[in-house]
A and B are shown apart, each in its own frame.
Chain A
Amino acid sequence: MAHFEIRDLNFLYASAKGRKSLEGVDLTIEKGQYVVVCGKSGSGKTTLLRHLKPVLTPAGKRSGKILFNGKDIGELTDREQAELIGYVMQDPDDQIVTDKVWHELAFGLESLGCDQKTMRARVSEMACYFGIQNWFHRDVTELSGGQKQLLNLASVMAMHPQVLILDEPTSQLDPIAASDFLDTVRKINLELGTTVIITEHRLEDILPYADRAVVMDSGRIIEDDVPSNIGRELYLKGNEMFHAMPTPVRSFYLCEGQGECPLTVRDGRGWLDREFPQGAPVRSLPEKEPVYAPDDIVLSMKEVWFRYGRDLPDILTGVSCEIPKGVIYAIVGGNGSGKSTTLKAMCGINRAYRGKVEIFGKKIDKYKSSELFDHCMAMLPQDPKSLFVKKSVREELEEMSKDEARINEVASLCEITSLMDSHPYDLSGGEQQRAALAKVLLTEPRILLLDEPTKGLDSFFKETFAGILSDLKKQGITVVMVSHDVEFCARYSDMVSMFFDGQIITTDSPKRFFGNNSFYTTAANRMSRHIFDMAVSIEDVVELYRLNRGGDRS
């Protein structure tokens, strides 16, 4: 008997005008399967997932049938649905109910009215399985994002569900915490046989291990197949979702490879080995000339030291960098290494206690705060919500500028013209990001600072965002961003710096920077470095492949 059986499910949100959020969805999920649901933002993934957990099912017009273990899912009692179907959401913070780790683990069991003995056994079991015992007594506020999300998973698993549903669980996490989390999910699936249904942007980490991939588009299921076939179908149909596929898959089809599609970097290397048994005659592409004038420095830091308090450790221990005009400058590095602190030191929010920060050749201390943030520099914070204070996007923008024409210009640049009358909280993550960017741009900055701009964005929004950045670059605006997103920095930045141990260790063009790294680099480079030199993006790999097959230089 199938675990979930969905028959011709249609759903229309009460507030939506006409367009169905789910249309004719048919899906059968067997016990113990690991199913990935992918699709663009707004394709109905979350709506579908919420239909599999009755208490979270949204209100609206619905037709069709959902069976759980052969019974109509509506017949489940509140108690049964809590025990049998576990659900983990996107935001690590807001899902946590209590103030202590141990209490959070016990919360679900308390709700079910379990007795002390059962609760103790279950809680201790979960704490051990998830490696929580060392922070069992802590306050949840002390935890990192990754730990919080792991706690959310553990407190759901404490109820021993048969199904685990995860809705973009790692979108707010850094890459290392994200792959730790996904490894744990995989372990649960393999070791406990729990059915897993997950939606994710980060397909690289999960597609190779999934049993099935389901692709959604505008509320319909357009593909439902094993992961190794899914890329081919999307490629042949020219579907946009192809761009969200893992690097090896995209490279394989763009090179029109034959045979089994590689899903992991390891398999991708094997495929290139088979293609070029003697190595490739053309190993590298000619390097592009830098587009910036290296002498026209707009922002420089010299030996900047900073700590948050007198008795606290130094976060920045002599940061030096020079940023030329009109570049996209990326700072990459590990979690909590001080990248965001550096960004705040650049705009004077964190005052360095030693060293020098110069903006347009003038010391930052000489600027008045009104001067510094007007026509000079501005920062887009990590969470766009922290910039929204009004009831509509238009009012948000009017707070920054009285000039109607200018507002419209910026709105169209950020592609939010159609969203002007929406409440900022009704926008999706990517739209919020762009609305916040528009607000920041209305200060007419010449230097734009971005803190983790691609966090939580899907691959389409990322591309739109990159387009906006390159428009800004053409206007002569210098962009400085800190990011975990190696692929994004490799593709769109002009200069990349590695931040480690409170300092900027190296700075180079993305090609040389990532080309010379062997671990901290893009998937395309890890996959092709034994055959090609400094191929850091899929485009590079495809171009080199074509050249070696006798194609012309494009």
Chain B
Amino acid sequence: MERDRFSRCHPSVTFAFFIVAIGLGAMIMHPAYIIVSGIAASSYYCLIKGYRGLKLLVLSVPLFIFITLFNPLVNHQGQRILAYVFGRPYTFEAMVYGMAVAGMLIVMLLWAGCFNHVMTSDRFMVLFGGLIPTLSMLLTMILRLVPNMMRKTAQIAGARKAIGRGVGEDDPMKKKASDSMNVASSLLSWSLEGGAVTADAMKARGYGAGKRSSYEIIRFTPSDLVMAVGMIMLFTAVVMLIAKGGTAAEYTPVMNITPIGSSGLPGFAAYGIFLMLPTIMHLVEDLQWRISRSGI
């Protein structure tokens, strides 16, 4: 898989980014902030996923409309009554609240998609391997075990089929059940035997001979440090704004959304820049390549 500039950063940096992006995204209900987060998440998601990213965006539109229209059906608070549905008030405030909730949900989904793409299992391992070597070792072995078991299961099923002891679609449940028991017990003895060999191989290479260290396949580079410092500064600005109440927003029963205004602008800008970092880095890298290519 190709990795872009942001996802090549040290996993501690990218992980911190997602914690902040998703954490703040779930806390702030202010519509302007949700929109900014949405723009940042969807632009980066489309950049890394291409056509498939756009497809998800299009699919999220019906979800957005559904939640928007559904919320007033269960939430009846609000002042401006648009209609009565099943004898209950259907209010404008509840609908706007529904829009905010739907927007937030979709933004979270998009960030989670980006997270999955950037934080692959091996990067996750690098992040926690340094902290808890034994635990990460265990995780690594499980990651090794799962495909192994799947391969063996397929082998056993294939072998049984070729001696006429496989299960077909139209076999009775009882036969299917007893056959899967057979396969499971076979898999167990096979895996136990393999496990004994693995244990020998581990001992032979000094497992348990002393304190383990952990090979760092990804280095923490100076540019990661620059990135981390920048992120901390932007984050501080946002937190200060939140502390002053600049992001407060209430929808029901009375709509009360704090305007951004000149005092809130620096924090809002900081929030936007922070979330746009992956997109900016991706575009800058593209641009650099283009320039260097035209120079050749």
Contacts and interface: CB of A to CB of B under 8 A. Distances in A.
B213 A440 contact: no
Interface stretch (A86-94, A178-186, A456-464): A86-94
Contact of A79 (B144, B158, B190, B210): B210
Interface in A90-112: 91, 93-100, 102-103, 106-112
Interface in B160-175: 160-166, 168
Interface stretch (B74-82, B147-155, B227-235): B147-155
A155 interface: yes
Interface stretch (B45-53, B199-207, B244-252, B279-287): B199-207
Nearest to A370: B164
B198 interface: yes
Contact of B163 (A140, A159, A443): A443
A114 B215 CA distance: 9
Contacts of B215: 102-103, 106, 109-110, 116, 119-120, 123
A12 to B, nearest CB: 21
A77 interface: yes
Nearest to B162: A379
Interface stretch (A245-253, A312-320, A380-388): A380-388
Interface string A356-392: 0000000000000110111000110101011111100
Given A89-B197, A103-B215, A369 B206 contact: no
Contacts of A78: 206, 208-210
A141 interface: yes
A153 to B, nearest CB: 12
A176 interface: no
B163 A440 contact: yes
B23 interface: no
A112 B202 CA distance: 12
Contact of A95 (B133, B197, B211): B197
Given A89-B200, A97-B201, A116-B215, A82 B209 contact: yes
A315 B210 CA distance: 49
B140 interface: yes
Contact of A383 (B155, B168, B201, B204): B155
Given A110-B213, A369-B168, A387 B205 contact: no
Contacts of B193: 94, 385, 425
A98 B213 contact: no
Nearest to A91: B197
Interface residues of A, number: 69
Contact of B194 (A79, A94, A372, A381): A94
A446 interface: no
B186 A388 contact: yes
Nearest to A116: B216
Given A56-B204, A82-B206, A386 B159 contact: yes
A149 to B, nearest CB: 12
B163 A94 contact: no
A111 B205 contact: yes
B254 interface: no
B204 A111 contact: no
A119 B213 contact: yes
Given A93-B194, A400-B163, A112 B206 contact: yes
A93 B183 CA distance: 20
Contact of B198 (A94, A102, A440): A94
A439 to B, nearest CB: 7
B269 interface: no
Contacts of B143: 99
A83 B164 contact: no
Contacts of B211: 113
Interface of B: 122, 133, 140-141, 143-144, 147-148, 151-152, 155-156, 158-166, 168, 182-183, 185-186, 189-190, 193-195, 197-198, 200-217
Interface of A: 53, 55-56, 77-79, 81-83, 86-87, 89, 91, 93-100, 102-103, 106-116, 119-120, 123, 139-141, 152, 155-156, 159, 344, 347, 349, 369-370, 372-374, 378-379, 381, 383, 385-390, 399-400, 425, 439-440, 443, 449
Given A82-B206, A383-B155, 7 more contacts: A83-B206, A103-B215, A109-B213, A349-B158, A373-B163, A374-B164, A378-B163
5 contacts: A79-B209, A97-B140, A98-B141, A116-B215, A141-B151
The 10 A-B pairs of least Cβ separation, nearest first, read A373-B164, A82-B206, A106-B215, A379-B162, A108-B205, A94-B197, A111-B206, A78-B209, A386-B159, A94-B194
